[in-house]
Every structure is written in C-alpha cells, then in structure tokens.
Structure 1
Amino acid sequence: MARYRNDLPQHRGGIFLTDGGMETTLIFRHGLELPHFAAFVLLDSSDGRAHLKRYYEAYLRIARQHGVGFVLDSPTWRANPDWGAKLGYDAAGLEAINMRSISFLEELRGAWESPGMPCVISGAIGPRGDGYKAGNMDAAEAEAYHAAQIAAFAEAGADMVTAFTLNSINEAVGVVRAAKRQEIPVAISFTVETDGRLIRGESLREAIESVDDATEHACEYFLINCAHPTHFESALAVGEAWVQRIHGIRANASIKSHAELDESETLDSGDPVDLGRRYLSLRRAFPQMRLLGGCCGTDHRHVAAVCDACLPSEAMSA
C-alpha cells in the first residue's frame, strides 16, 4: 500500500535514517556471497530473506531508540535488465522480484512503524552500468531503460523510488521522467569522485540544476551517496539554491577513491565516530540534510554514531 505517496513525511521535517552499505555488510560482515554485488537474489530463499530481515532490523532498532523516521530502501540496486540478465532473470522475473521487494518491506513496516517513527518505502534503483564508471545513455534511452523497474515499484505500492550511485546527468533525467510518467515521487542520489565532481567532470551544481531544468523540478530532492564527506564537503556552498535541493547523505566509510575501493580485497570501515562528526558538521551548515545513512563500508555502527553526533541525547527514548 502506497501509504505516503501523496504526502512524504520526510518533507515535514525531522531526521529520517536509512540503512548503510547493504552489499558490503552482507558480504564482509555476514559472510554471504552476492553474485555481481546483487542483494535482491536473497529474496528468492527463506534463508536470504531472514538475512535481509536481520540486516534491516539492526537499523530500524536505532531509529526506534532515537524516535526518528526511517526510509526503507529495497534491496534492488542491481535488479535492472543488464544486471538481471547476468544473474538469470528475464523481464518477468525482474518484475516479480522488484514487486516482491516492496511486499517484503511492507512486512517490516508493519512490524516496526509507530506514530513517532514513520517508515517510508522506497524502491531502490541503481545505474545501468557500474556506478564507478561513466555511463553512455542519453536521457530518452535512460527513461526507457528504467521504466519497467519503476512501473513495478509503482504497481507494488512503493511510496517513492530513489536512484542511487548515479554519475550521469542523462541517466538521472531519464529516471525522473520515467517516475513522473508513473506518478510516483522520485529522488536522485549522485556519487562523486575525490574532487567532488561527477566522473565526467560536472560539478554537483551543474548536475542538480541540469536535472531540475530538464524535468521541471520533478525530482523530490537529491542525495549524495557512495563518497566520503571529505570528497564533497568543499563542493557545497552555504546559501545557494541548488544546495538546498540536497536532502540526504549516504556516505562511504572509507576516504579511498572509487578506483582504490574497486581494487581492495578487504573492507575499509573507516572511523564511525569521525563520520558522525562530519555528518554533524554538514547538518549544522545545511539543516535541510535530514536523511542520514551510509553506503559502502558502513553498517549499523556508523549509523548509530551519526545519531549520537547529530541527535540530542534528550530526544532519545529507551
């Protein structure tokens, strides 16, 4: 059931948490094998669903303790045609598992949501290719490519969709247009290199303003994910309108570049306490950044550290 599709509670104020680095946590912390970095395959078995349930509940527990909202992003970052084909999923199989992911999250919401802890269900979309390499689609091709996954989320009753780890303005425009056709709210999360720019050299300002100009501001808001705060802090400017469109951060734990992370055989978990301090600094400068979570290398410890840094202790409940 699309409980919040017409009135997203994260627009009303207050902090909303998300999960952390799902794939890195499941592989390096839980010891699972995720072919092609795809977590959605876990939905096909009872054991896999149990792992996912435990994974999400570690974060939901933190949100409950702090009395804040939560955005439940589906484990479907790889559930698109190109990656699905590598994993043996045809169009019908992808439609089914994308819809099943929303049903799975609805069960979690039913168990955890409370008046003080709204839980928004978001269908997670990933890039067509590798988030660390430049994409080549134009906006029309991207719209057509992502349309089926977005339609599945809309039909299944997701409140919204969010596209993560995008490094292409054209792909972001296509995702927003496809979501607009389905009349479902959409957010875009860009990833940047160590210089705070997209992989082709565009600035965050250029990316956000270009998407807004091409879609008549149809995107609900923007986020930054899969980059450490040290990579993008200097790219943000207090008081500028485009920065006000960034409502969330899902940072990497590591300060390493994407190329270094790609070559690493071990998990760099960084410093959760330092990450929390950096989130606090961003929150003080940009209070509209209310969606707080993690990406590669982060787990529930990092999100807990972010809460400890950003939320006053008197707001916590037992």
Structure 2
Amino acid sequence: MAVHRSNFPNIEAELFLAYVGMETDLLFNRGIDLPGFASYPLLETEKGRALLKEYFAGMIALGREKSVGIILESPTWVANRDRGSAIGYAPEKIMQLNQHAVALMSEVRSDHGDVPTVISANIGPRDDAYAPSDQMSADEAEQYHSEQISALAETDVDVVSGYTLAYSAEAIGLVRAARRFGLPVVIAFTVETNGKLPTGATLETAISEVDDGTDGYTAYFMINCAHPDHFEQVLADGPWMQRIKGIVANASRCSHAELDEAEELDDGDPDELGNQLSQIRRQFPHIRVLGGCCGTDMRHMERIAEASTAHSV
C-alpha cells in the first residue's frame, strides 16, 4: 500500500515500525565491511542490492504479520558530500546513489503492496553525531543539506528524516531545506545517558528551538540512537512531549563513547527492549513510531512489534 508524501503523516495505521540498525547488523553479524559506516555503496553491486532488498522485504513482511505500518529507511544516513568524500566518493556520485536507494525501496514496496509502507530518505548529520566539532548555523545547514535533499526530491520519497542530530541549528537548516523542496520532514535527536543532546541541550529546548525557527514545519520529532534507560527519566507531559511521536532505540545501554570503541556487538535483550518501548507507548499513546537502532536486528524488531501490539493503547 503506497503512501504518498501529500498524505504524510496522516496515515491510517495505529503503529509504524522503523529500523535503522542495519549497519551494525551488517558489520558485526554479517561480517560486511562498511567504510565510513556507509551502507549506500551496497547499491553498486547486485549482491549488495539483494541484501538491501532482503532488509526492506523483511520489514514489510513483519508489518503484514503484525498488522502495522512500516517506515522503510534508506541506506543514505552518511550519503552527503563531506562524509562521502572521506571514503572517496564524488558529490555527483553520492547524489546519484541517493536516488538509486529510493528507486530500490520503491521497487520493493510495489512488490509488497498490501502493507502501509512509507519511504523515508534517511539523512544524517554533517559531522560526528556524538561529538560535533564544527557546529553550523541554521543557514549553513540549510545550504549544506539542500544538496542531498534536492536529489531526493526528484524521487518517490514520502518524507525526509533527519536522524541522530545533535544540535538544533542543524535540525533547523535541514527542516528549512526540506520545506524549500516541498517535502515533509521528521527530526530525530540523539541523546546521551543523561537524556540530553550531546551538546548539552534538553529535548524540550531543542524541539522548541526547531519549531520556533521553522514555523512548526516538522511533521513530528523522534528520539534515536539511545537506550530507553537513557531518556525515560526526562519524558514528561507537556506540549513539547506531544511533538515526539517516535522512538528508535539502541539495543545497548552503552554510552556513545563506549559504542564508538566497541569491538564486539552489544545486542542487549530483545525482549526487554520491546517491553520498555511498549511501556513508553502506553504512557504516551500519541507515539506512533517504534523501532531499533544500533545493535538491533530483526529479533528486536519482532519483539518490539509483539510487545506493542499485545496491549491496546
């Protein structure tokens, strides 16, 4: 069931599942090298494209089994000019691969048309998500992210999703760029073990700054790349909390610094993660998107789906 960008996010599905743990699964569980943590080079080989299709089709199959919607996230989190250059890709080639990623996702969606399926263009930060060393102004971020978003605007993408963002100015620029090209946009902030962004801002402050700087254009906000233990304590009733409609969590309780140094995968406890996310959703029923980030695989996604559909909200 195709979802068109003009309908996003008003889609008739009580719950959507989103998965962005593919890179850690590829690295640690499948032994596939990903220079620069980039998965978009897989688009250049038949074997790589088949592997990506496997992930996308697996998510849609899970959505069918659990009667929930699916948000397919493109393998383009680091498919931007600076990060691509670091591993030898010219900007023109990177933009081409952004478009190829969406085309592949659209093909898979067409082959499995009975599940509400959103195609999300996953866009990551320009710099290190955990410790941005050179923070951009909102104007600089708009200019920078417009290159990638302009390429994506020519595809079947339904929404642009800015993932693992660490400060509000970059998020503001990314939202403005999406608005310039007429695309819906979602912003996902990452937090440290204290529930605050890596730059020290609170979620409430970051969300308020983005909404104030973009006339509230963001469809909704999410939290990603953190374990529920890291942010549960800061979730509280309030207008800013109503803007958070998605949580895509890490399997591991490790800090970002610890994850950066890890030589083995910490895949946590899939049952526990599913139950924790389900509990958060029972507490905040407006949350409509749940999923897995670093350290998760389809076991975690299955448990998240099972726990969250076992309770009526």
Share of identical aligned residues, percent?
47
Question: Which residue in 2 is equivalent to 1:279?
Answer: 277
Which SS does the other structure have where 1:42 is aligned?
helix
Q: What CA distance in whole angstroms lies between the structure 2 residues aligned with 1:58 and 1:94?
A: 26
Which SS does the other structure have where 1:222 is aligned?
strand
1:220 lines up with 2:225 in the alignment: no
Alignment of 1:96-135 (within 5 A): 96-114=96-114, 117-134=115-132, 135=134
Which residue type is aligned with residue 155 of structure 2?
A
1:311 lines up with 2:290 in the alignment: no
Question: Which residue in 1 is equivalent to 2:266?
Answer: 268
Alignment of 1:227-246 (within 5 A): 227-238=226-237, 240-246=238-244
Question: Which residue in 1 is equivalent to 2:176?
Answer: 177
Question: Which residue in 2 is equivalent to 1:52?
Answer: 52
Closer/same/farther in 2, CA of residues 304 and 10 from structure 1, 3 Å limit: farther
Question: Which residue in 2 is equivalent to 1:208?
Answer: 207
Which SS does the other structure have where 2:48 is aligned?
helix
1:43-69 deviations in Å (ceiling 9; x for gaps): 011111111111222222211101111
Identify the match of residue 300 of structure 1 among 295, 298, 304: 298
1:145 deviates by 0.5
1:163 deviates by 0.6
1:135-159 deviations in Å (ceiling 9; x for gaps): 5111111000000111111111211
Unmatched tracts of structure 2, length 5 or more: none
Q: What CA distance in whole angstroms lies between the structure 2 residues aligned with 1:247 and 1:145?
A: 27
1:86 deviates by 1.5
Question: Which residue in 2 is equivalent to 1:31?
Answer: 31
Which SS does the other structure have where 1:155 is aligned?
coil
Q: Which moved more, 1:4-13 or 1:213-222?
A: 4-13
1:89 lines up with 2:89 in the alignment: yes
1:187-244 deviations in Å (ceiling 9; x for gaps): 0000000000011211000000110000000000001000000000111102x01101
Unmatched tracts of structure 1, length 5 or more: none
1:111-152 deviations in Å (ceiling 9; x for gaps): 1221xx211111110000111112511111100000011111
1:35 deviates by 0.5
CA RMSD of aligned residues (A): 1.4
1:3 deviates by 4.7
Which residue type is aligned with residue 156 of structure 1?
T
Q: What CA distance in whole angstroms lies between the structure 2 residues aligned with 1:57 and 1:132?
A: 30
Which residue type is aligned with residue 266 of structure 2?
D
Q: What CA distance in whole angstroms lies between the structure 2 residues aligned with 1:64 and 1:220?
A: 25
TM-score by length of 1: 0.94
Which SS does the other structure have where 1:270 is aligned?
coil
Which residue type is aligned with residue 7 of structure 2?
D
Contact 1:293 1:303 in 2 (8 A): yes
1:246-303 deviations in Å (ceiling 9; x for gaps): 1111100001100111111000000010001101111011111111111000011101
